[in-house]
Amino acid sequence: MVAGATRSECSLDLGLTVRTVEIDATGWMCEGQRYPYIERCKDRTVYFRGDDGWEPVARFGGALIKLVPTEWGAPTFEIDGIKMLPTAKVSPHADAERKVGLIQPRGKIVLDTCGGLGYFAAWCIKGGAARVLSFEKNPDVIWLRSLNPWSPEAGGVLELTQGDIVDHITRFADGSVDAILHDPPRFGIAGELYSQVFYDHLARVLRRKGRLFHYTGTPNRLTSGRDVPNEVSKRLRLAGFVTELNGDGVLARRK
């Protein structure tokens, strides 16, 4: 900020847009509303204006869940310090674009098993999906979405359900979806989402020749030598998929 300046250009939505605000020594004004400066900003923290002033976009229930800024603009989120989206080499939003492209969403009913911040759903909508059936188990993550300007709003094409896909998928009809995006938490957090039983359900609800992208990452490879991508591929093949490793996950096609 230049000394004596009365205006400044900044982004109020994590890089989506840039606007000009009026500034002085004690605060700033935007669209006729005056705001005080934040007294102390913590690193790796996104803030919003709540009833008690500036508050971090974070909640602590059974775990600390927080929105975390990135150099790319689009934020990631963490659960007890574990980063849920890749950010080291690419924007998590752009990373989702590539993965959604693998399942070719145009005109399709897409099952988004673990909605997270909704980046998969956003690109499915932009890619012309007919419907996006998105599930998110954690209500605090849905709260993060409500404050994240990069997250899509539910409604229209996007049907967002707060609930556990492990339970809900048992009520899906056979062959009722055209494509699936499966981005579960790590195996140690949600092993049921890597189980043979769950993969059998994915195969059951997906139409023949439908595509699935399953994010796996490579957890524990250096410490234990465990090969999660190939473990996942083996179980998916047993469920009735043809599989190939693709980037940080598995791309599969229903036989």
Q: What is residue 214's predicted lDDT score, i.e. its pLDDT?
A: 98
Entry pTM = 0.93
Q: What is residue 48's predicted lDDT score, i.e. its pLDDT?
A: 95
Contacts of 172 (CB under 8 A, 6+ apart): 111, 201, 204, 205
User: How far, in Å, CA of 50 to CA of 35, rounded?
Assistant: 12
User: How far, in Å, CA of 31 to CA of 85, rounded?
Assistant: 34
Query: pLDDT (tens digit, 9 = 90+) per residue, 106-155?
Result: 999 999 999 999 999 999 999 999 999 999 999 999 999 999 999 999 99
Closest CA to 126 of 149, 158, 84, 162: 158
Which domains, and CATH codes, for the chain? 1-37 (no CATH), 92-254 (3.40.50.150)
Is the model's pLDDT at 170 over the cut of 70?
yes
Give the CA-trace dihedral at 156, 162, 164, 165, to 10 degrees. Answer: 0
Q: State residue 104 phi and psi, 5-degree precision.
A: 50, 75
Q: What is residue 39's predicted lDDT score, i.e. its pLDDT?
A: 86
Query: pLDDT (tens digit, 9 = 90+) per residue, 68-91?
Result: 999 999 999 999 988 889 888 899
